[in-house]
Amino acid sequence: MKKYDVIVIGGGISGLGVAALLSNKGYRTILLEKESILGGRCTSFQYRGYTVDIGLHAVASYSSSGIGRMLAEVGAQLELMPIKPSLMHYDLDTRRYMRATSPERFGEALYRDFKELVKTVAKMGKEEINGYHTVSAAAWILDRFKNEALLEFFKKITGFAGQPMEKVSAGAFLETLNDAFNSEATITYPHRNGIKALPDALERAIVQKGGEIVTEVGVQKILQRKNRIVGVQAKVIRPSFMADVELHAPAVVFTIPLELLPKFLSRKNIPAELLAKIERITHERYYYTGLIAGVPKSAMDSEGEKFFQWTVDRPGMDWHAIITAPTQMDPKLAPPGRHLLFIDSHGPMPYGDDGIARRRQDELADMLNEIWPGFTQKVDWLHRVIYPNVLPLAQISLTGPYRPGFSIPGLKGMYLAGDATYLTGSGIGSTVKSAYGCIEEIERGNFLAER
């Protein structure tokens, strides 16, 4: 039976990133993914002539979060287009578009504090940021700026999956903004083929460097001998074929949601501190809810057609809608004369409360009809969506030096990567940084010296 140096469980961006980096370093690597397509929540599928992205709608902080470095390091080819302006805002009362962060929207006093925050955060180093992982983002903002309006703005805009800013780690908040403020482009989008172009680029890099990828194979158990990892037990599932297999390697990297780890390893082999952190991550969850629509261009106003992404609200709301139109960057994602729209809700959305989620979707539909009269009657199609636990939440004392970690103490060869191991407010930033953290942990352990 063929032996590998490393088995990677999960084909999301963190798993693909780990496998690409390992393959590039010459490690005999195999990646196992239970679905038929790669990318996790960063992929796309074909639907009624549209290319529909799943989960991730853009690549944030390309040059500062690590994704640009990773693609260059493994030789992956991906053409990304910078989005400018990166974010607009539509005011429901004045019916006008404006920059999301501008004196026109904020007023001079709030805008002055916002610019000072940008200046302060942009020049912070990692060591300074790491001093704020036991403080809430809300406390940091109010302590520095004494401005409730500034806090209210960030409650809506930061993308922490609806988590209250009183629970968001200031360290994760600051690291996310530091990446955004120092990136060559705040957000970018693939030149063609939707968000799936990113996992496709990493997949090609893995194969070109000799790594292997197997889809539609579900890992059932992580195998160990005493305190050492020796491989995995898996089930291969095809339309007319099913088989149980064992794959052997001295190292396994677990990149699927961390809350699933106890299903693959006995709880007695997981340190109590790590189990407690997994429980916190699982307990604090929020829905991310919205709508997806395919629409004729005539259903939208010509002004709105100019922008890739914009927020929508009015004074007094404790949440906002964020509308993304990837077809503004790549018209081929939809049939001729059509737009693809994602209409998401940013704001507190308790996990498991389907009633609140449905009411918010109704509010989003009403909002669309207010912007463009009769909009929901003119669409080609419109679907309600809920993304349960799209992003593990960056809670106080679970980020920075307090993160769950990239390995399991006492279990040689067992490594971790994925959002929960490096929590920030940027999904792409979390996954890429976790991949690099995992690689550093593997090389620090020098497990291959014992092959």
Whichever domain contains 325, its CATH number is 3.30.70
Instruction: Tell which of 335, 353, 388 closes a domain.
Output: 388
What's the CA dihedral at 438, 442, 444, 448 to 10 degrees? -170
Q: What is the pLDDT of residue 1?
A: 65
Which residues have CB under 8 Å from 72's CB, separation 6+?
Answer: none
| Cα separation, 377 vs 107, whole angstroms | 37
Percentage of the residues of the chain whose pLDDT score is greater than 90: 73
Mean pLDDT over the full length of the chain: 91
What does residue 244 show for φ and ψ, rounded to 5 degrees? Answer: -95, 135
Which residues have CB under 8 Å from 288's CB, separation 6+?
Answer: 161, 162, 344, 345, 349, 386, 387, 388, 390, 391
Residue 318 shares a structural domain with residue 367: yes
Q: Is residue 317 part of a domain?
A: yes
Q: Is residue 85 part of a domain?
A: no
Asked if 180 contacts 186 with a C-beta cutoff of 8 angstroms, the reply is: yes
Average pLDDT, integer, range 273-286: 84
Q: Is residue 89 part of a domain?
A: no
Average pLDDT, integer, range 403-429: 90
Q: What is the pLDDT of residue 202?
A: 98
| Cα separation, 279 vs 281, whole angstroms | 5
Residue 291 shares a structural domain with residue 339: yes
Q: What is the pLDDT of residue 102?
A: 92
Written as six digits, the tokens of 257 are 């949601």
Cα radius of gyration (the chain): 22
What does residue 79 show for φ and ψ, rounded to 5 degrees? Answer: -95, 120
Whether the model pTM is above 0.75 = yes
Residue 238 has pLDDT above 90, yes or no: no
Q: Is 72 buried (19+), middle (13-18) or exposed (0-12) by CB count in 10 A?
A: exposed
Q: What is the pLDDT of residue 426?
A: 76
Q: What is the pLDDT of residue 450?
A: 55
Domain span including residue 241 = 6-80+192-283+393-450
Average pLDDT, integer, range 366-379: 95
Measured at the alpha carbon of residue 331, what is the angle toward residues 325 and 334, in degrees to the nearest 5?
80
351 — pLDDT class (breaks 50, 70, 90): confident
Average pLDDT, integer, range 236-252: 90
Q: What is the pLDDT of residue 380?
A: 97
Average pLDDT, integer, range 176-196: 94
**Maximal CA-CA distance, the chain:** 69
Q: Is residue 176 part of a domain?
A: yes
Residue 69 has pLDDT above 90, yes or no: yes
Q: What is the pLDDT of residue 388?
A: 62
Q: What is the pLDDT of residue 49?
A: 97
| Cα separation, 145 vs 139, whole angstroms | 10
pLDDT, one tens digit per residue, over 123-178 is 999 999 999 999 999 999 999 999 999 998 888 775 565 678 898 999 999 999 99
Q: What is the pLDDT of residue 162?
A: 65
Residue 384 shares a structural domain with residue 326: yes
Residue 381 shares a structural domain with residue 398: no
**Residue with more model confidence, 234 or 347:** 234
Q: What is the pLDDT of residue 12?
A: 96
Q: Is residue 1 part of a domain?
A: no
Written as six digits, the tokens of 3 are 């032996």
| Cα separation, 60 vs 175, whole angstroms | 13
| Cα separation, 431 vs 8, whole angstroms | 14
| Cα separation, 253 vs 262, whole angstroms | 14
16 — pLDDT class (breaks 50, 70, 90): very high
Residue 343 shares a structural domain with residue 379: yes
Asked if 399 contacts 169 with a C-beta cutoff of 8 angstroms, the reply is: yes
Average pLDDT, integer, range 411-425: 92
Separation in Å, CA 1 to CA 85, 171, 215, 226: 54, 46, 19, 22
Tell me how far apart the terminal alpha carbons of the chain are, to the nearest angstrom.
16
Q: Is residue 93 part of a domain?
A: no
Whichever domain contains 429, its CATH number is 3.50.50.60
Q: Is residue 90 part of a domain?
A: no
Residue 384 shares a structural domain with residue 397: no
Residue 448 has pLDDT above 70, yes or no: no
- Which of 6-10, 187-191, 240-244, 263-267 is predicted least confidently? 240-244
Task: Please give the tally of structural domains in the chain.
Answer: 3
Written as six digits, the tokens of 310 are 């914009």
Q: What is the pLDDT of residue 239?
A: 79
